[in-house]
Amino acid sequence: MKLKKSILLFALAALLLLCGCSKGSVLPAVSNPDFENGLAGWEKKVYIEEGSSIEIVTDPVRGSVAEVFAESENDVRLMQELKVSPETAYRITCYVKTEGVTGGAGANIGVYGQALHSEPVTGDTDWTLIELTGVTASGQETLPLTVGVGGHGETSSGKAFFDGLNIELAPKGSTGPVLGSSAVKKTAEDNGAPTEFPTQPILIASVLATALTLLIWAWHIIKGRSPRNLQAKDNVIAVIAILLAALAVRVALSLIFHGHKTDINCFIFWGKRVISKGPAHFYDEWCDYPPGYMLVLGAMSFINDIFGGGSMEANSLIIKLPCIIADLFCAYLVYRYARKTMNRGAALALMTLVAFTPVMAYVSSAWGQIDQMLTVMLIVPILLLYKRKPIWAGLVYGIGIIMKPQALMCGPLFAAAYLMYVIKGNPYEPAKLDRGTARLIKAKKDTPGLRLLETVLAVIAAFAVIFAVAAPFKGEQGAFWLFEKYYGTATSYEYATVNAYNFWALIGANWKKVDVPFMGLTYGKWGTIAMALSVVGGIAMYLFAVLRHGKCKGALPLTMAWMLASIFTFGHYMHERYIFPALMLIMFAYIFYNDRRLLVTYLAYAATMLVNCISAFYYSKLFEYGLYWDDRIVFWCSLANVVLFIWFTMLTLVLVIRNKPHRGYNG
């Protein structure tokens, strides 16, 4: 009788357990959860190999345990991919012991590919049970679970020991963060690791994308041959339709590509950190960006919280929105200025060309980087200076500096532009003495003294906005913390080139240390000389153009684009996107010069940048499988960029010295 009763109770308990589980829920099986079989079933995931280690040691209390060590701030973890059910709540636990763990995410349970982890365990602790509870996304079938020290964008240091990982179905009604993405789906056919770098798909995608730009270019050519109709009304519906279509493409790209896993996860976490810890304590943990864009990320995180968070795709899209908007703004800005000199149809086609330039959409929406924000902060000051608004130009440029350090490269050329403004005045817009600084000091006429005062106020405006944005982030950092941040960011990758297809990549120096000897000097010293010559050359060409030809609107964007291209081609520390702002600068040089060769240069650089950026994106995804560059892509695209720069240099010299552009497509 007792046996029957026991069987009945067991069956009842099993039935209740099944009822409490989600329909069809899978209870994941963790391979080697106690590390009794060494590291079998686990995969190492290390951000910086140097100074890191993962090994099995014997603990007097728990036996075999995993020891994870990071000598300096790092992200060192063990990962195991588990089969899970979609839209199911799981509770994950693990025992951890720490020795001197500091900063970032500490010792934790995490999810690889997401800025998500359990509460950090730091300092010196005895064995403690940590927990992470969350819900899988719709359509999710796998969960890349990790244990270790640090996390995406939250590097930590110290030693941690792990044992007894366990995952179970959480009690009915449990909630928590989304543990993955609906895009995380694997079948039996694609569970294997990739075996080759995707050279052919990259080239096919790049050729098709370039073909699209050529079609739009042809539209621009055809429309440009029609008589000018500068008095015609704008086709507002067409403008809105094109921008909405470009937005739709970018949203689709964002949903297809979560983004560069390191960049996107850092941006998402930094946005959350701004909100949770406040600016004063933001830099208590690692971040290699200046504070300007952190405010934008904080705002995006706040918006995301208002809507209750969501899937990884939704979080990624929201964090990319500012750059997507910057893309569309650049396209509209091109239309606004092109319609002043071109047939309305040609201007509309040119706007479409920018709106659908593949590399722009790819960087902002697929990759998720902020280079178009920097582009806006370089283009807008030029246009404001032309409109006789030098103080506003200085303020916007200051915002660019506090957002991205690369803006500083253009500082000397902007200084030369302001010098010419003081000496020669603004030949494009007459002085308006009834407003601004002139009205304030009751100036009777436009004089060098008035323009000097405006220039001084522009410099003050730039420094003021930098100080205003940076001050809340200072916290307990030293007086020169911002300078140290910029210097540390600029020199953090001490390599001749970091995935940039340029001269150094052409000769095989990609990811080679800057102190490697080359032709009597080192890569770093040659790079420094090249960068200095690029800046001096850009300034010299701009001054010559203004002093020789007077009204020459295209000179500033043209020489700035040339300078950035020169620094990218021969400077050191370069990344694949450092040339990106040159693209829009070349486009505005084309609008002002109306020289068809500049548009050809724009299309050529757009093509090589796309190949470079897609290749760099997949390099970051595949190096963990031991798949590095396809040397054919590196060589031929680097060669194309070097040859293209030589062409661009000759064209720039012709336009600067002679100021006689070829007849464009617009009369």
DSSP of 184-209: ----GGG-SPP-S--HHHHHHHHHHH
Tell me the sheet residues that pair with 145. Answer: 80, 111
Task: Determine which of 471-475, 497-501, 624-628 has the lowest per-residue pLDDT on average.
Answer: 624-628
Strand partners, 460: none
Q: Where is the domain boundary, 425, 450, 482?
A: 482
pLDDT band, residue 562 (cuts 50/70/90) = very high
CA angle, 82 as apex, 77 and 87 as ends, to 5°?
A: 115
CATH classification at residue 34? 2.60.120.260
Query: For residue 487, is it within any domain?
Result: no
Mean pLDDT is lowest, of 13-27, 286-300, 309-323, for 13-27
516 and 639 part of one domain: yes
> Do 455 and 404 fall into the same domain?
yes
Tens digit of pLDDT for each residue in 203-227? Answer: 999 999 999 999 999 999 888 887 7
Give the pLDDT score at 69. Answer: 96
- 510 and 466 within one domain: no
Name the nearest CA neighbour of 255 among 368, 112, 359, 110. 368
How would residue 284 be classed by pLDDT, with cut points 50, 70 and 90?
confident
Q: Does 167 share its domain with 241?
A: no
Tens of pLDDT, residues 41-55? 999 988 888 889 999
108 and 45 belong to one structural domain: yes
CB 57 within 8 A of CB 99: no
Written as one letter, the residue type at 558 is: L
The helix/strand/coil state of 637 is helix
State how far the Cα of 172 lies from the Cα of 21, in Å rounded to an integer.
Answer: 7
Range of the domain at 650: 493-667
Residue 343 lies in a domain: yes
* Cβ 98 vs Cβ 160: under 8 Å: yes
Q: Give tens-digit pLDDT for 304-323.
A: 888 766 677 788 899 999 99
Q: Is residue 45 part of a domain?
A: yes
The number of distinct structural domains making up the chain is 3
Residue carrying the six token digits 């309305």: 344
Average pLDDT over residues 420-431: 83
Q: By the 8 A CB rule, do 501 and 300 touch?
A: no
In angstroms, how far is the first alpha carbon of the chain from the final one? 102
pLDDT tens, 92-108? 999 999 999 998 889 99
User: CA torsion 440→446→448→453, rounded to 10°?
Assistant: 20
Q: Are 362 and 258 in contact (CB under 8 A)?
A: no
Contact 47, 155 (CB under 8 A): yes
Residue 321 covered by a domain: yes
Instruction: Check pLDDT > 60 for residue 189.
Output: no
Using CB atoms within 10 Å of the CB of residue 639, give its burial: 0 to 12 exposed, 13 to 18 middle, 19+ buried.
middle
Clarify whether residues 473 and 503 are in a common domain: no
Are 462 and 560 in the same domain?
no
Asked if residue 193 belongs to a domain, the reply is no
User: Same domain, yes or no, for 623 and 534?
Assistant: yes
Name the pTM for this structure. Answer: 0.78
pLDDT computed for residue 17 by the predictor: 41
Residues 93 and 70 in one domain: yes
- Domain assignment present for 664: yes
Q: Cα–chain-centroid distance for residue 429?
A: 36
Same domain, 507 and 429: no
- What is the mean predicted confidence (pLDDT) over 393-414? 95
Q: Are residues 467 and 511 in the same domain?
A: no
Q: What is the pLDDT of residue 338?
A: 93
Read off the tokens for 30.
Answer: 């963790």
Instruction: Provide the CA 443 distance to its chain's centre, in angstroms.
Output: 45
Distance of CA 146 to the CA centre of its chain: 25
On whether the CB atoms of residues 443 and 428 are closer than 8 A, the answer is no
Q: Among 421, 456, 482, where does a domain finish?
A: 482
Which range (140-154, 238-252, 380-394) has the least confidence?
140-154
The answer for 278, left when phi > 0, alpha when psi is -120 to 50, beta otherwise, is left
Question: Could you give the CA distance from residue 360 to residue 374 in angstroms, rounded to a whole number?
Answer: 13
Evaluate whether residue 36 is within a structural domain: yes
> Does residue 13 fall inside a structural domain?
no
Instruction: State which of 161, 184, 207 marks the end of a domain.
Output: 184
- 267 and 154, same structural domain? no
Tell me, what amino acid is at 508?
A: G
